[in-house]
A and B are shown apart, each in its own frame.
Chain A
Amino acid sequence: MSDVHERLRRLLFLVPYISKHPGISVEELARALSLTPDQLLKELDLLTMVGRPPFQPDDYIDIYVENDRVYVDLDQRFSAPPRLTAAEATALTAAAELLKPAAGGALQSALAKLEKVLPADVRSRFRDMERKIDANVQGSDEFAPLAKAIFSRREVTFAYFSQGRGAVEQRRARPLELFSHRGQWYLHAYCLSRKDQRLFRLDRIRDLALTSTPFELGNAARPTVPNPAGAAGEVKVRFSPVAAPYVRERFGQTVRTMPDGGAEVNVAGDSERWLVQWILSFGGEAEVLGPDWAREAVARAATTAAPKAC
Chain B
Amino acid sequence: MERTERLLDLVALLLDAREPISWSELRDAFPEDYQASSDEAAERKFERDKAELLELGIPIAYVQGDDDRKDGYVVDREAYYLPEVGLSPEELAVLYAAGSAALASGAFPGSPDLAHALRKIGFSAGTQVPTPRVRMEWGAVQSGLEQDLGPRLEQLWAATASRKWVELSYYSPRTGATTSRRVDPYGLAMRRGIWSLVGFCHLRQGVRTFHVHRIRTFKVNPFKPKTPDFDVPRDFRLDDHVASYPWQHRIHSPVPVTLSLRGEIANLAARLFPDAKVQSAGSCSEAIVTATYVDGLLRYALSLSPDCTVLAPPDAVERWKQMAARILQAHRSRPAALGASA
Contacts and interface: CB of A to CB of B under 8 A. Distances in A.
A61 B13 CA distance: 12
Given A132-B186, A305-B320, A106 B142 contact: no
Given A8-B8, A305-B320, A107 B94 contact: yes
What does DSSP make chain B's interface, helix, strand, loop or mixed? Answer: helix
A109 B91 contact: yes
Contacts of A166: 264
Contacts of B135: 177-180, 222
Nearest to A86: B57
Contacts of A13: 116, 119-120, 123
Interface string B202-218: 00000000000110000
Nearest to B285: A310
A171 interface: no
A161 interface: yes
Interface string B315-339: 0010011111111101110011111
Interface stretch (B38-46, B65-73, B187-195, B247-255): B187-195
A305 B98 contact: no
B9 A134 contact: no
Interface string A1-45: 100111111111100110011000000000011100000000000
Contacts of A54: 29
Given A282-B299, A289-B336, A307-B310, A82 B139 contact: no
Given A262-B339, A282-B299, A309-B311, A4 B52 contact: yes
Contacts of A122: 57
B305 interface: yes
B223 interface: no
A87 interface: yes
A17 B122 CA distance: 10
Contacts of A103: 94, 97-98
Nearest to A112: B91
A98 B98 contact: yes
Interface stretch (A65-73, A208-216, A252-260): A252-260
Contact of A180 (B123, B193, B232): B193
Nearest to B157: A133
A179 B173 CA distance: 29
A303 B329 CA distance: 10
B130 A138 contact: no
Contacts of B133: 147, 150-151, 176-178
5 contacts: A46-B2, A83-B57, A96-B94, A147-B97, A240-B342
Interface of B: 2-5, 7-9, 11-13, 15-16, 28-30, 52, 55-59, 79-83, 85-88, 90-95, 97-99, 101-103, 108-121, 123, 126, 130, 133-140, 142-145, 154, 157-158, 160-161, 173-174, 176, 186-195, 213-214, 232, 236-239, 242, 244, 260, 262, 264, 267-268, 271-272, 274, 281-284, 295, 298-300, 302-306, 309-311, 317, 320-328, 330-332, 335-339, 342
